[in-house]
Chain A
Amino acid sequence: MWKIETKNPHTSGEVRGSVFSHIKQGMLKKSITKESQPLPRALIQLHPGRSSDSRINPPGAPSRLPCGSQWLGGRDSPRLQRRVRSRISRDSLFSSPLTVVQGRKAPEFLIYYSIEISYVKDNFPLRENPAIRLEPLGFRDIHDKSQDPAQWTTNENSMKNRALYFVFILIAARFYCGISISYGETQSFTDTTGCTVELPDRPLRVVSLAPSITEIVFSLGKGALLAGVTRYSDYPEEAKKLPRVGSYIRPELETIVNLKPDLCLAVKDGNPKKTIQRLKAFGIPVYTVSPEGIDTILRSIKEIGGLLNAKDEAQNITEKMSTQLAFIDRAVAQAPHKPLIFFQIGISPIVSVGKNTFLNEMIQRAGGENAVTSPRPYPRFSKEQVLALAPEIIIITSMARNDIFEVVKKEWESWPSLPAVKTKRIHVVDSDILDRPTPRVVDGLAMLTALIHPTLFKETPK
C-alpha cells in the first residue's frame, strides 16, 4: 500500500510520494500527452474507512477492506458521489487527454480508495487538515469480477500499461485535491453561544466535553458515536471504558485532536473558551450547549438529538421528562408550606448553594425554600450562621463518602435547637443525580420532592 500526498493542491498540484520518488513530474506529463490512444474510463470509488465500529458498516460492504471501512462511496451516499464526480469533470486539470467517466459509460477501471474523512473545511490547507487521509488501495479492471480486495493489484508489473498506471495515480492526486474542497456535506447550526457551526450531516466521531453531555448522548442511544469523554464521565457504565480527554475544566487539546473528532460537544460554563477556540482552529466543529436549569436541560437534549440524528429519541426523552415534571409540579402546588432548607455541599468549611444555581432551582421546584439567599453561588458558612438560619431540613450531598457525612449528620444532631434536628429531618443524598444536568435530574427532583414533602406522594412518580 502506498500513500499519496500533494504538497499544495490548490496551486502547484505537485505529486509526491513513494511511488513517485524517482519520477519527475515533467516526465510524467510527457508520457501522458504522448499517449494518443484513448484513455480508459474509470470510476473512483470511495471507502471512507475510519470507524472500526462494525455497526456502522452496512451489510454488503466488502468484508476485507482494511480497518473495516464503511461502504459509503457507491450506494450509501449518492450525494457525495455525485459531488465528487462533478468536481472532477469540472476541474480544469483534466485538460490532459484524460477523460473520467461520469457514469454514463461503463467504467473500465475501478480505483479504490480507503479514505478517512471526518470533517473537511473549505479551503483549509491540506497539510494542516487533520481530517483527511487518503490511501489508494489499488485499482482493477472492471471486467475482473473478483470481489476480493486482496486480488486488487498494486503490483506495477502486472499493469497493462505502465503509463496508464501513473495516470491513475495522477488522477488520484487531483482527486485528492478535489475532494478536499468539495466534500462539504454539512449543515449549519447555531448553538447557545450564538456561534454558527458547520457540522457534518452524520457525525461519526463525537467527543463529549462534560460528564452531563456524555450522559445525554448515551440516553439518546448514541453512545457508540462517542470517541472520547472527559474524566468523571462515569454514567452509564459503558462511558467508563471510553478514552479520556482530560477534565471538563481542563480538556486536553492534543488528546482531543488526536481522536480526530468530527464533532465536539461542549458546555458553555466550565469548558475553557480558549480550548474551544483552538479546537475550532483545527477545523473541528464545536457545538456548545448550556444545560444550566431544568428547562435548558430539555433544550440541550433536543439540540444534541438534532445533531446526532436522534430527533425521535430526544423527543421521547424530553416528553417523558416533561410529563414527570408536570406530575411533580402539580403535586408540589398542593403543598401547604414551603420548608426552609439548608443544602450542604461542603463539610469543612460548610459550603451551601446560593441563588442563581442549579441546586437552588431544584430546591424551589421540589417545593422547598433555600435558606441561603446569598447571590454568590457557593457561599461558605460557619456553624453559628447555620444555626441562625434555623433550617427546617438539612440536606447533605454525598459523593460515596457516606461515613464522613454520617459524622456530619451526628454533629448537627448535637444542636437540638435546630428545627431540622427537632423534627429529625437531616438527610444524606447522592449528589450525582442532583447536580448533574442530565435526563436523570428528574429522578433527582422526584427524590428531593419526596424528602421535602414526604406526604405528597401516595405513589412515587414515574
Chain B
Amino acid sequence: MKDLPHQKPYLAVTGLSSGYGDHEVLTDISLAIDRGSFFIIAGPNGTGKTTLLKCLAGLTHPQKGSVTLDGSPLNSFNQRALARRIAFLPQSVETAFSLTVREVVLMGRAPHLGMLGFHKEKDLALAEEAMSFTDVLPLADRTLDALSGGEKQRVLISRAVCQQPEFILLDEPTSALDLAHQVRVMDLMERLKHERGMGVVMVSHDLNLAAMYADTLCLIHQGKVAALGTPSDVLEKKRLEAVYGCRLFVEKSPVAGTVHITPVPARFTTS
C-alpha cells in the first residue's frame, strides 16, 4: 500500500452491521479498500468473514451502515451495473449440470451483454484471453464437473477475470487446494492486481499466505474488526492467540521475510 500512489477509497464500509434475523453477525465495521490492492480478510470460523465479503459484493444488504463503491452506496447500483464492477467467487460452486469451461468463462461477459447474452467477437476474445491468463485454455471444451479442484478454481477465476471488474471478491479460494495450486491461485491474484489494477478482496484462513501476499490484512473477531493494517502489523502473536484462542508459534519466514505462524499442538503447549 505504501508503494502505490494513494487513491481515494473505492470500496468503503462505514458503520456496517449485518446479520440474519435477530442474530447480528457483524457489528459496526468500517474499512476502505483501494483499487489495485490485495485485501485479505482473516479470522476464526463463524466470525462473519463471508458475510462481510457478501456485503462488499452487494449480495447481502447491511442492516446498519453502508457499503459504498466510489462514493455511492451499493444498493443504488442495479445488479448488472454492479456486476460490471465487482466480481464474486463463492466458496464452492456446484452444479448438477455439465457446462463446458468455455460456457462458464463466457458467462462472465453476461453483465456486459444483452438479455440473451449473445456474445460478440470481442467477448470471445476476452474469454480466450482470460482462459489463457489462468492457464485453462487447453481445458476450454471440457465440462466443469470433469475438472480437478485446482482446475475448476482457475476456471472460475478466469470467469471473474472475463467479467472485467474493478474488484474481485473471493471466498476462501485456496482452502480446498494443494500447496502448488494454492500458490498458483495466489500468484494469479497478485498478477491481477499488478497487471490489471484490480482490487482483490479475499477471505482466507491461511495467515501465512496472507502475510506473503496481502497489502492490507483485516482480522475479524466476533463480528468486529480486531485489527486492520499491513500483515506485519496485524499478525502479532498475542493478538492472534487471543483471537484464535490457541497457542501459536510465530517466526520470520526465510522466504519472504514475512511473519510465519505455526499453530502449536496441544501436546507441546506445556513445554
Contact flag (A, B; Cβ within 8 A): no
B positions within 8 Å CB-CB of A: none
